[in-house]
Amino acid sequence: MSEAALITNESQEPFGRRESILILLNLAVLAALLVVHTAFLSLLGPPSRLLVIALATRFVMLFAELIWLQKQKPGLHPVAEQYYVCYSIITNIAFAFMASYLGGAADSHYSVLMVLPVIAAAARFDLPGTLLVVSIAVTLTFLEVWLFFHSYPPLEISEFFEAATVSLIFIVVALVVRLLVGNLRQEELKLAKSLETLKKVQSKLVAEEKLAAIGRLSSAIAHEIRNPVAMISSSLTAGKQSEDAGIRDEMFNIAAQEATRLERLTTDFLSYARGKEPERKWTNPALTLGYVAGLLRERATDAGITIIVDYPDDAPANVDDFQIQQAMLNLMTNAIEATPRGGKVRLGGSLNRRRDLVLFVENEGQQIHQDVLSKIFEPQAHRGSVEIAFNEPGRVRFEIIIPEAGIKGGSDGTHPDR
């Protein structure tokens, strides 16, 4: 059987689960047949010793297969899956034929076992493979009748008509299963294509939102860039005009410090645009929040909005300071834009009982619509999340939660002195 004969589409159920279901079906059918045999023992007679041994052996084999499947890790090699499927169908056919022959009658009720490999083949193989298994099942059904009358003559032609009827049932079952499985596979392919399209659209939207967010942050960063540039300009001018060497040195040092700060700010902003991985270190979030507030204070003042910072000084956290700045900048920018003149915007945070860092931005304004919520950054690099704690008229509050940021022993295994 070629590999193309087996379905290996990733959208199918996990191999182990599918095969386990078929094994449980086998066990259920075997148990039902034993119950029937026991209930009609006076009519069917006691099972032969060989039949009992065959049934017991088959039960043990099926349980062993079930245990083996449960121990297999996800992602079994396709070749191994193919070999197991072929083994399973072959053993089912062989046992069905053996049980029918040992059943002690030309029309033994154990012949129903032959339908199981037919169903399995129709569900797993392509059309040629399914027809091959059905042909084998039909042939063995007639062979079982012939062998019975060869051992217990005289021959009854009517039994061959019954075998033909059973064979027709095999064919119908195979066709129905093939039709149902084929329809399911077509639907799975359609769903897989739709999912792939959605992923591409989502990636495009994420990229576009990233660019839009960078644009929004650029406006906020411009205020911070303007300050060191102004300081550099004024310091150089003052140093140039002064004849005092001490004053000139002091002005030049200020210009150098501001140039260094400007370079760091530019580097951090470019790193953010490239999606830099977090570089965690112990820091004081109060300083970060104060920096964010200072960055946006001029914009808030122009809009007639008051910024309030609320964070305890003795609650350090193990985070990437710059990435937290960007997340808070984005939330603060949105909050300022949504707050009416004369309103207040609060930002702060604390460590909860689980030592998670919980930062918040709260503003006075209208509720936020669902289609706007998707524009808020999610700090996924920290395994964190953005949650909207309140969304009501006059009070909108977002919380950024960084798990275990306050637990001793971070990425560097150390904790700051308090």
Q: The domain spanning residue 212 has which CATH number?
A: 1.10.287
The verdict on residue 388 lying in a domain is: yes
Could you identify the residue written with the tokens 């023992």? 41
- What are the start-end ranges of the E strands in 284-356? 306-310, 317-319, 344-351
Evaluate if residue 262 carries a pLDDT over 50.
yes
- For 202, 213, 224, 233, 382, the CA distances from 216, given in Å and listed in that order, are 21, 5, 14, 26, 22
Pair (285, 142) in one structural domain: no
The verdict on residue 417 lying in a domain is: no
- For 97, 154, 283, the CA distances from 158, given in Å and listed in that order, are 20, 12, 90
The verdict on residue 91 lying in a domain is: yes
- pLDDT at res. 169: 93
Pair (206, 242) in one structural domain: yes
The verdict on residue 182 lying in a domain is: yes
Among 52-56, 211-215, 240-244, 282-286, the range scoring the smallest mean pLDDT is: 211-215
Evaluate if residue 1 carries a pLDDT over 50.
no
pLDDT in tens, 219-259: 666 756 776 677 788 778 877 787 787 888 888 887 887 78
Pair (37, 174) in one structural domain: yes
DSSP secondary structure string for all residues of 94-162: HHHHHHHHHTTSTT-GGGGGGHHHHHHHHHHS-HHHHHHHHHHHHHHHHHHHHHHHHHSPSP-HHHHHH
Mean pLDDT of 334-339: 88
Please state the length of the chain: 418
Start-to-end CA distance of the chain, whole Å, equals 70
Contact of 17 with 81, CB cutoff 8 Å: no
Decide which of 214, 247, 273 is a domain's last residue: 273
Pair (222, 309) in one structural domain: no
The verdict on residue 205 lying in a domain is: yes
Could you identify the residue written with the tokens 């002690």? 104
Domain total for the chain?
3
The verdict on residue 361 lying in a domain is: yes
The distance from CA 208 to its chain's CA centroid, rounded to whole angstroms, is: 23
Mean pLDDT of 192-216: 82
SS3 343: coil
The verdict on residue 165 lying in a domain is: yes
Query: Which of left, alpha, beta for 342 (phi over 0: left; psi -120 to 50: alpha)?
Result: left
Q: What pLDDT band is residue 130 in, cutting at 50, 70 and 90?
A: very high
CA distance 217 to 227: 16
Pair (181, 311) in one structural domain: no
pLDDT in tens, 283-335: 888 888 888 888 788 788 888 999 999 888 777 888 887 778 778 887 888 88
Mean pLDDT of 177-184: 89
Pair (249, 188) in one structural domain: no
Q: What pLDDT band is residue 407 in, cutting at 50, 70 and 90?
A: low
Evaluate if residue 119 carries a pLDDT over 70.
yes
Pair (300, 380) in one structural domain: yes
Pair (67, 40) in one structural domain: yes
Mean pLDDT of 338-364: 89
Pair (12, 123) in one structural domain: yes
Instruction: Supply the range of the domain harboring residue 169.
Output: 3-194
Pair (61, 31) in one structural domain: yes
Nearest to 321 by CA among 263, 271, 362, 375: 271
Contact of 54 with 102, CB cutoff 8 Å: yes
**Cα torsion for 241, 242, 245, 248, to the nearest 10°?**
-60
Decide which of 211, 246, 273 is a domain's last residue: 273
Contact of 402 with 352, CB cutoff 8 Å: no
CA distance 132 to 118: 10
CB-count burial class (<10 Å; 0-12, 13-18, 19+) for 212: exposed
Considering Cα of 379, then 385, then 391, then 396, what sign does the dihedral take?
A: negative
Pair (68, 138) in one structural domain: yes
Contact of 288 with 328, CB cutoff 8 Å: yes
The verdict on residue 57 lying in a domain is: yes
Give kind and range of the element (H or E) at residue 372: helix 370-373
CA distance 331 to 321: 16
State the CATH number of the domain containing residue 369. 3.30.565.10
Evaluate if residue 24 carries a pLDDT over 90.
yes
Tell me the residue type at 341.
R
CA distance 300 to 235: 27
All residues at 6 or more sequence positions from 76 whose CB lies less than 8 Å from its CB, including other chains: 15, 16
Q: For residues 145 and 238, which has the higher predicted lDDT (pLDDT)?
A: 145
- pLDDT at res. 408: 61
What the block records as the tokens of 341 is 């003149």
Contact of 296 with 329, CB cutoff 8 Å: yes
Decide which of 156, 176, 194 is a domain's last residue: 194
Evaluate if residue 106 carries a pLDDT over 90.
no
Q: How large is the angle between the packed helices 321-338 and 157-241, nearest 10 degrees?
A: 90
Evaluate if residue 71 carries a pLDDT over 70.
yes
Could you identify the residue written with the tokens 């909005």? 305
Contact of 97 with 105, CB cutoff 8 Å: no
Evaluate if residue 93 carries a pLDDT over 90.
yes
Contact of 360 with 305, CB cutoff 8 Å: no
Pair (259, 303) in one structural domain: no
